[in-house]
């Protein structure tokens, strides 16, 4: 029998990059499942709009942080403020990320250092901070959003592919370490997804984008959520994406790299 306090307690999910794309769709799912939310993004107007809509529609609490996660102090600031407010994070979703497109010797170093900070360092930092309390409580879930790009090198997006390979490897390793603790780690590896990502990176005209039917963000988010709830370690949405991700191990790395380069090039 549940106590009054247990009945009143709602779990809380923290989601980075939650103003659009997969992050927004995940926020919609958690809200519909009666989770309180901590939403983090740089887009203040969109965050406020989402918070207002969710609070009205789902009668949940929504805390927003307008943060640039490429700033190294952001994770500690978020963690400290939530601690001081007595907010317990039950599910951590590290979704924020972006890419750059072009030859490595021609792309912006500033953009790539910021990408490393967001895609890799911030994800690691937030995981370190929130994981400790989850282990002490003996329960909690972490969803790290990687990419199908994690399974092979990516010419013309060399740093982005490398960051996603890190997220995959890191997630698998700590998932193993956490066995038996009550805490699970899931890594979501979507293929090309309908979003503003490709326009932002400047690869909207590439063969990869033009030559395939992309999954929608809502479907990807639902697959990721279901896998997270089941405690799966790796989830790759879409049969073709699964086949491509798993098949690269059977071909020489140099050949795989050449194929990816061809796909990444403009039509």
CB 267: neighbour CB atoms within 10 A?
A: 9
Please state, in angstroms and as integers, the Cα–Cα distance from residue 64 to each residue in 10, 12, 105, 251, following that order. 17, 13, 37, 45
The whole-angstrom distance between residue 243's C-alpha and the CA centroid of its chain comes to 21
Cite the DSSP H helix spans in 117-206: 123-137, 158-177, 197-201
Choose the catalytic residue: 35, 160, 166, 225.
160
- Assign 195 to helix, strand or coil: coil
The whole-angstrom distance between residue 93's C-alpha and the CA centroid of its chain comes to 6
What is the rounded distance in angstroms from the CA atom of residue 83 to the CA atom of residue 147? 31
What is the rounded distance in angstroms from the CA atom of residue 165 to the CA atom of residue 160? 9
Q: Is 166 an annotated catalytic residue?
A: no
Point out the residues that are catalytic.
160
């Amino acid at each position: 029998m549940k106590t009054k306090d247990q009945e009143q307690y709602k779990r809380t999910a923290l989601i980075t990059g939650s103003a659009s794309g997969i992050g927004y769709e995940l926020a919609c799912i958690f809200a519909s499942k009666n989770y309180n939310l901590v939403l983090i993004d740089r887009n203040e107007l969109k965050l406020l709009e989402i918070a207002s809509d969710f609070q009205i529609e789902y009668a949940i609490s929504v805390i927003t942080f307008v943060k640039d996660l490429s700033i190294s102090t952001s994770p500690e600031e978020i963690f400290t403020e939530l601690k001081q407010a007595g907010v317990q994070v039950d599910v951590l979703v590290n979704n924020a990320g972006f890419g750059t497109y072009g030859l490595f010797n021609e792309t912006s170093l500033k953009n790539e250092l910021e990408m490393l900070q967001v895609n890799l360092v911030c994800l690691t930092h937030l995981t370190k901070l929130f994981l400790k309390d989850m282990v002490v409580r003996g329960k909690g879930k972490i969803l790290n959003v990687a990419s199908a790009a994690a399974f092979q090198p990516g010419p013309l997006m060399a740093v982005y592919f490398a960051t996603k390979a890190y997220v995959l490897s890191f997630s698998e390793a700590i998932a193993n370490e956490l066995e038996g603790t009550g805490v699970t780690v899931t890594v979501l590896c979507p293929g090309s997804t309908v979003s503003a990502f490709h326009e932002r990176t400047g690869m909207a005209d590439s063969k990869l984008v033009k030559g395939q039917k992309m999954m929608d963000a809502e479907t990807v988010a639902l697959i990721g959520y279901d896998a997270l709830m089941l405690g799966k370690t790796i989830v790759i949405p879409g049969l073709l994406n699964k086949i491509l991700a798993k098949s690269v191990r059977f071909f020489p790395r140099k050949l795989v790299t050449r194929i990816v380069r061809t796909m990444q090039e403009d039509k």
